[in-house]
Every structure is written in C-alpha cells, then in structure tokens.
Amino acid sequence: MKTIFNISGMTCAACSRAVERVTGKLDGVSQVSVNLATEKLTIIYDEKATSIQDIIKAVTKVGYGASVPDDTKPVEKEDTSGNLKKRFIFSAVFTLPLLYISMGHMIGLPLPKVISPSHNPLVFALIQLLLTLPVVILGHKFYTIGFRSLFKGSPNMDSLIAIGTGSAILYSLYAISKIINGNTHYVHQLYFESAATIITLITLGKFLENISKGKTSEAIKKLIGLRPNVALIIRDGNEITVDIDKVKVGDIVIVKPGEKVPVDGVIIEGTTSVDESMLTGESIPVEKKASDSIIGASINKNGYVKYKATKVGDDTALAQIIRLVEEAQGSKAPIAKLADKISGVFVPVVMALAVLSALAWLISGQSVIFALTIFISVLVIACPCALGLATPTAIMVGTGKGAENGILIKNGEALETAHKINIVVFDKTGTITEGKPKVTDIISNEDYDENYLIKIVASGEKASEHPLGEAIINKAQENDSALFEVSNFESITGQGIKFSADEKTVLFGNNLLMKNNNIDTDSLDSTAESLSKQGKTPMYVCIDNKLCGLIAVADTVKESSAKAIKELHSMGIKTAMITGDNQNTADAIASQVGIDVVLAEVLPHEKSEKVKKLQSDGNIVAMVGDGINDSPALAQADVGIAIGSGTDVAIESADIVLMKSDLMDVPAAIKLSKSTIKNIKENLFWAFGYNTIGIPVAMGILYLFGGPLMNPMIAGAAMSLSSVSVVTNALRLKTFSPDK
C-alpha cells in the first residue's frame, strides 16, 4: 500500500533523513521518501506488517509529527507564514534595542547612566537578559525540537541553533554571576545580543523561505482553485443546484455560457466552445458538440449544453492531475541521494568540528570568549537547510511548470532521467498520425465525377463496419451529399464490399475483389502501386462491371509530428518509429516526418522487446504512445510518454503525460528536464560551496592568517540567506518556456 503523510517539525535535510531512516526500518516497508520542501512522507508498505499508526508512532519517536494529508494543507502553509512573520516582528522589537544597548556605546552612541556598563554594569547586564528572554520564548521551538532531536540521536538544524545560542546564553548568565560577585570585567563578555540576533535572523530567513516555498507550490493551488463548488443538475425533471460533491455518475448536468464545467462527462445536447487551457495548456478554445467529452473545471465559453456526468470526485481529470502533480512534487530525484547521504552525517560532523575548533583555540592560548565565538559560529553557519532544499524546490517548480504547459511529469526520477534521453521511439498510429483515416485521393474516369464516386461508395459503406469506410462517409458528408438507398449489400472479408445503389451494381475493394469478379485493373494498377508506396490504402471502384476509379485512404500525419522530430534532431536526439504496418507504409510515413529508424511489422507484444534492444545498445530510450498495446513498451522505456488523448492504460503505464496530445511537448518535456537538472546542480553547488567556504571561515581560518573573526550574528544571517538563495534560484524555473 502507498500512503502519503504530512510531516511537521522538519527544518533541514538531517530531519528528513531521520524520518526516512526510522520509517524505513519498520516491518513490511519497501520504499520510503521524505520531501523537505513539501513536508511529505511517501511510503510503500505491507498493511499486514505495518499500520498507519505504527508509521505515525515511529515518526513521533524521533521528534516529529505525522498525519494523513487533507484539503487544509495550503491554508496551513499560509498560517505558518503568518506566524513566522509575527515571530520575526516581535523578536525584532526586542532585538533592536538590545543591539543598541549592548553595542551602541562601542561606536559612541549615548546610553543613560542607569544602564551604562561603566556606571551600572549589573543593570546593563540584566536589561540585556530581560530583552533576550522574550526572543528566546518566541523562538522556543528551536530549543524544544532541537534538544529533543539531539537526545533522540537525530540532531538537526534546530539542534545546532539550540546548542549555539544556548551556549551563548549560559555563558552570559555565568558572566552575570561574576558581575554580581564584583568582577565587573565580565560586563564585556556578555553574549545575549548574539543569541537574540541569531534567533531573529533565522526566523526572518524561515519566513522568507516559507514565502518562497509557497510560490513553488502555486501550480497545485491554481489547480485546486479551478474546481467549481456547485453544479446545476436535472433530477426528477427539476433543475436543482447541488454541491459538487453530491453530483453522481449518470446525472444530467447543465452548463450555461461563461460557467465552469463541474465534472467530466459527455455532451448530450447543445454545442459550444470550451477553454481547456488551465488543464491542457492549450489557449485556443475547443469546439464541442453532442457525443464529445467535456472536462471538469474547463470553462464553457458561449453555448448552453447538457451533458451526462461520467466521472466525479477523485475520478475526474482535474483530480487525477492534482494527484499526479502532488505525487511528483513529493517525489525524490536520484540526484537527491547525494545530498541525503551527506546530510545523514553532516550535523554530527559539524558538532564535532565546533567542539574541536573551540578546544584548539583554547589550547593555543585564546580566551574562553574567543573559543565560544568560534563554537557558536561553526554551529550556526553550518545548518544544512540549503542542502535539503536544493533538489525538492527545483522539482516542485519544474513539475508545476510542466503542469501549466500541459506536461504532467509523474515523479522526480522521470524528470531527472528525461534530460539524458538520446533516442525517442514513437508509436505510429494515433501518435505520429491522427489515428483517424481520411480520404486523400479520388481518381475517376470520364464516366463519373469525383463527387458521384464518393457518394455512391459512401452509400454502401454506410452498411459496413470497416474503419476505412468511416473516412469515405465523412468525405461524403463534407460535400453535403445525400446518400443513395442500398440493397443487396454483401461484405467480402479481406476484399471489400458489393451492393446495389442508384440502380447500379457497385464493387468497392482491393485488387483481389476485382480479380475475382473478372474486372481488368491494368489501367490503374501503376497508380494504385504509387499510392501504396506513399503509405496510402488504394481501393478500386467498379460500377456495372466497369472500372471507374480509385479512392485512396490514409491515416494522415499530425501537423506537429515533423516539427517535433526536427526539434528533437536539433537537440541531438535520434528518433525511431514502431508500427505493425507493412514496411512500405511505415517508410512512407517515416520519410514524411524525418524519422531516423523504422521498426515495421512489429506485433503488439514485440514492442517492448524492440525498446529493450535499443536499451541494450547503450541508449537512454523514451517511448511515446497512446494505445493499450503501447503500455508494455511505455513501462519498459527509461521514460514512458503517453499522449493525453490515449487510453487510461497507456497513461497509467507512462512517466509523463502530454495533455495537449501535441508531439511538440516531447522536446518541451526534455527541455524542461534539462532546465530543472541544471537548476538542481546550481543549487547543490551553492549549498555545498556555502558550507565548504563558510565552515572553515567560522572555525577561524582567516583569523589565523591575520584576517577577521566571523561574528556569530553574521553566521546566522549568512545561513538564512543561503536557504533563501537556493529557493529563489529554483523559482527562476518559473520563467521556463518550451520555445527557448
């Protein structure tokens, strides 16, 4: 069973690592992933071995909270930002006067005698304590979470802050005791302002980080906001308005111009144009008529329609999209494993470095206050927030941006793998081609014109169930031809049809049908062969035992196919086409769109074997398909890409779903992957680089060579800014455009 939990109390990569470690040890757990940015735990486990309560208990044991998510999550995040803002403002109210009192006199700012360090050292010290206490109380979570995590053997960012600022406060209390005993020299060794400033600056950093993280999940909020609250339905002959949750499958729903479509369904009455842009990314409204499907949350532009509800609640397209995006944003890319491994040992190593560097300076002859400065600076600057946010924030923005463009990426692994693709395999029918045959050529002799040939053949095909016949009927309807009455209809398997219409006997089919009825086809055989080489299916028309012409039908190529394949080539990616069609037809289609490799006459069950063969040659393969028979190949490929208009089975098997069914979204998805991975690498570089540079500076390496000593307050500001910079960099992905 797969369950997603909300996790509270996490502040850094060490926290997420601790939750993963403890839940991964539970019986029956096969897979576990914690996303720091979304604060979610995704876990796959055996219900017989482990329960939801067992998981919650395990998470609680290491000092964090766990609950099954609900619809209030976005509101909770807003509340968190509000609380952090209040905490920062109140902390600043006390910290600013504290900084003035403790440090103002050093730069010549006036202080009243009553709190002057030289005139009243004890009052000077006590007023600082009184101003620090409210800040500590406001930031009490740093201590409760930090020390709890430390004592449970899973120290985190809060542990570093708690130890660092706690040490500063304890030493300052020790200094006050010395002042009380008459040693007024200790008035210059108070550390209250550092502790308060660190807490205030980190609270500010958390507030800014929370706002930025909120922006990374805007795609989800937008999708949730699309859902209308009520629906107008017909029940017992009456029009009634009900909550959207009360709509049932089979209900007749009414949508007026300008209204949002409540749930998915099929139109039974009326015509309109529908704006599906927020779901598919396609800005042009789609024309809809009776028997067409309509998607919940799309906007009815100008018509009055009635439709039958087919999917409601969690089964609607919108609900499925939201679920896919949430799962993708909560997933973890393989590149994140590096950060996870480091964060697992990072905090204990930092604590050890802080202690060792402080001891080393003490042994070298420096004062306790100097060593304490080193100790606190190392602990504070090394908090691994940026490390934990580097990957998930970029994935959140990347998958959200994909959803805005109608590209649904199901997980972080697919998002990462896509940037390495070097060959894309396309299914032919319904993917490169429209999947709906059309009449492409009508060749007639002098006896009958083209319109008459189509009209009489369509009359016979009306009684046939052959898919090519539908193309001929559609062509006749385009010409507004009223069809003839048909009699003596006969379908001849593998050859064609025979019937009577307009007082004539008609034969329509392949060469074999003509041969069996002694019809000479020599005059049109070369034309038929030429059409066949173009990937078309030519069929002879014979009226009253005389050959009258040819009608060719073909599954036409989508407008975007050649353009998409050209774009992939410009990116250095090879293309292949896989089809069950004969080699001639396959070659003809491939030459039209510029395919590199043609795999023809492939049976459905052999498609996945062909993909596997390409992989065995060292290729990273993407498979693009839309049918049930494509699902094994989609699953076998390194990245399976399903066309949104395809079957549910294909969409379920794929890693990426193209909602617009536009092949230009294949290179767009790969470009998005490249941009996201580049962003993640930038984030990890800055996160690692920040700690690589920051920790030695905090340990006093510059001071050793005559440079300055880092102030713990500067360390606190730098730590906060590192997290904000990583999230801000991830937000640059919001400017991604597939056309770039």
Of 728, 736, 681, 723, residue with least CA distance to 409: 736
Of 617, 574, 568, 576, residue with least CA distance to 598: 576
Backbone angles phi, psi at 275, to 5 degrees: -90, 110
Q: Which amino acid is at 232?
A: L
* Cβ neighbours of residue 579 closer than 8 Å, sequence gap 6 or more: 427, 428, 429, 585, 586, 589, 599, 600, 601, 602
Q: What is the DSSP letter of 483?
A: P
Interatomic CA distance for residues 431 and 712, integer angstroms: 60
Matching residue, tokens 């398997």? 493
Of 692, 697, 686, residue with least CA distance to 721: 686
Q: What is the DSSP letter of 244?
A: G
Interatomic CA distance for residues 579 and 445, integer angstroms: 35
Other CB atoms within 10 A of residue 615 CB: 15
User: What is the layout of strands, in order, in the sheet containing 65-67?
Assistant: 29-35, 40-45, 2-8, 65-67
* Cβ neighbours of residue 598 closer than 8 Å, sequence gap 6 or more: 576, 577, 583, 586, 587, 590
Other CB atoms within 10 A of residue 1 CB: 11
Do residues 435 and 650 lie in contact, with contact meaning Cβ atoms separated by under 8 Å?
no
Q: Which amino acid is at 192?
A: F
Residue 427 annotated among the catalytic residues of the structure? yes
Interatomic CA distance for residues 460 and 539, integer angstroms: 14
Question: How many CA atoms are closer than 13 Å to the CA of 730, on its beta-carbon side?
Answer: 33
Cα 717 to chain centroid, rounded: 32
The DSSP H or E segment spanning 543 is strand 537-543
Structure tokens at 149: 């995590």
Per the rule left: phi > 0, alpha: psi between -120 and 50, beta: everything else, 188 is alpha
* Cβ neighbours of residue 525 closer than 8 Å, sequence gap 6 or more: 511
CA triple 245-247-249, angle to 5 deg: 125
CA distances from 396 to 138, 402, 440 (A): 31, 10, 46
The 3-state DSSP class for residue 46 equals coil
CA-CA-CA-CA dihedral for 244, 246, 247, 249, to nearest 10: 140
Do residues 577 and 599 lie in contact, with contact meaning Cβ atoms separated by under 8 Å?
yes
Do residues 417 and 638 lie in contact, with contact meaning Cβ atoms separated by under 8 Å?
yes
Q: How far apart are the first and last CA of the chain?
A: 41
CA distances from 66 to 4, 45, 59, 78, 327 (A): 10, 16, 6, 19, 17
Interatomic CA distance for residues 697 and 704, integer angstroms: 10
Catalytic residue among 158, 427, 655, 665: 427
Structure tokens at 641: 């890409």
Catalytic residues: 427
